[in-house]
């Protein structure tokens, strides 16, 4: 069975092949610059050895690819024979020259914009430095002033409440209706109250009340009739009976 026949790539001139090869090399170098960007600290006269080695390998691969594909390429109807030591290949020595650096044309508007941005950056940097020096002191002073104002207000409110409480207390102290005046009796009784003999006074008073009620008081003689005769209820009963007797006599 015969192998299928594939149509060759037809080009009009050697310039077309050079254009394709040039674009492949340019794109590979552009991609390589993205992967290995130049450093600002590196010396321009000393290229990166890793980048140089990778570039050599990539360009060698591209050159080999186009060389192997030359059997499937025809230029203006003529087959491109890669076995003739590269005589028919249009990229034999045209790409052996060193890489050149292209500079973009000077743009005055862009340069002015860059200068304006640098001036703005310097101004903002100066403002930030000034804020770092002054902002902490201003913030601390503002906080201290606010705190002092709050403390002064609280002190004034506290003093006002204390003064009001003292005024109310003084009014209560001088109110004659609430003034307690205890009659102490004789000078001896007053002296006893002032000397702190209050327990004895209370004891005597309670004993007297108990005797008036006709109850037994500790210290009295057992079975004494003095308490019953002096009892208040006994005295009231005698007075009521005497009153009724008077009424009966008056009605007779």
Q: What SS3 state is found at 11? A: strand
Name the average pLDDT for the chain.
75
pLDDT tens, residue by residue, 177-228: 555 455 555 677 667 666 656 667 677 777 777 766 666 666 665 545 555 5
Q: How far is CA 119 from the centre of its chain?
A: 35
* Cα–Cα distance for residue pair 137/236, rounded to 1 Å: 93
Query: Can you give the pTM of this predicted structure?
Result: 0.34
Q: Are 92 and 86 in contact (CB under 8 A)?
A: yes
User: Has residue 119 got a pLDDT over 70?
Assistant: yes
User: Of all residues in the chain, what percent carry a pLDDT higher than 90?
Assistant: 18
User: Of all residues in the chain, what percent carry a pLDDT higher than 70?
Assistant: 63
Instruction: Kindly state the average pLDDT of the residues 151-173.
Output: 81
Q: At what angle do helices 198-212 and 187-194 cross, to 10 degrees?
A: 120
DSSP H helix total and E strand total for the chain: 7, 3
Name the maximum alpha-carbon separation found in the chain: 184
User: Has residue 124 got a pLDDT over 80?
Assistant: yes
Q: Is 62 exposed, middle or buried (0-12, 13-18, 19+ CB in 10 A)?
A: middle
Name the more confident of 176 and 35.
35
Q: Are 178 and 172 in contact (CB under 8 A)?
A: yes
User: Has residue 143 got a pLDDT over 70?
Assistant: yes
User: Has residue 249 got a pLDDT over 60?
Assistant: yes
- Residue 252 DSSP class: -
Instruction: Kindly state the average pLDDT of the residues 95-110.
Output: 68
Length of the chain equals 252
Q: How far is CA 73 from the centre of its chain?
A: 72
* Cα–Cα distance for residue pair 73/14, rounded to 1 Å: 11
Determine how β-strand 9-11 pairs with β-strand 78-79: unpaired
Q: Where are the domains of the chain?
A: 9-79, 115-181, 187-251
């Amino acid at each position: 069975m015969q192998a299928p026949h594939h149509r060759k790539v037809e080009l009009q001139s050697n310039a077309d092949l050079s254009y394709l090869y040039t674009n492949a090399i340019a794109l590979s170098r552009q991609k390589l610059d993205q992967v290995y960007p130049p450093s600002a600290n590196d010396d321009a006269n000393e290229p990166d050895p890793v980048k140089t080695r990778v570039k050599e390998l990539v360009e060698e691969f591209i050159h080999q690819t186009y060389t192997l594909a030359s059997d499937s390429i025809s230029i203006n109807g003529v087959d491109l024979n890669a076995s003739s030591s590269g005589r028919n290949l249009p990229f034999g020595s045209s790409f052996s020259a060193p890489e050149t650096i292209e500079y973009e044309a000077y743009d005055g508007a862009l340069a002015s914009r860059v200068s304006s941005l640098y001036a703005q950056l310097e101004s903002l940097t100066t403002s930030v430095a000034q804020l770092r020096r002054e902002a902490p002191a201003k913030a601390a002073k503002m906080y201290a002033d606010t705190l002092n104002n709050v403390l002064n207000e609280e002190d004034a409110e506290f003093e006002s409440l204390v003064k009001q409480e003292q005024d109310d207390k003084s009014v209560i102290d001088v109110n004659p209706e609430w003034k307690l005046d205890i009659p102490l009796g004789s000078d001896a009784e007053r002296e006893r109250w002032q000397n702190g003999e209050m327990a004895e006074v209370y004891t005597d008073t309670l004993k007297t009340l108990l005797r008036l009620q006709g109850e037994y008081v500790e210290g009295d003689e057992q079975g004494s009739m003095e308490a019953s005769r002096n009892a208040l209820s006994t005295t009231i009963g005698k007075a009521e009976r005497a009153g009724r007797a008077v009424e009966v006599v008056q009605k007779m």
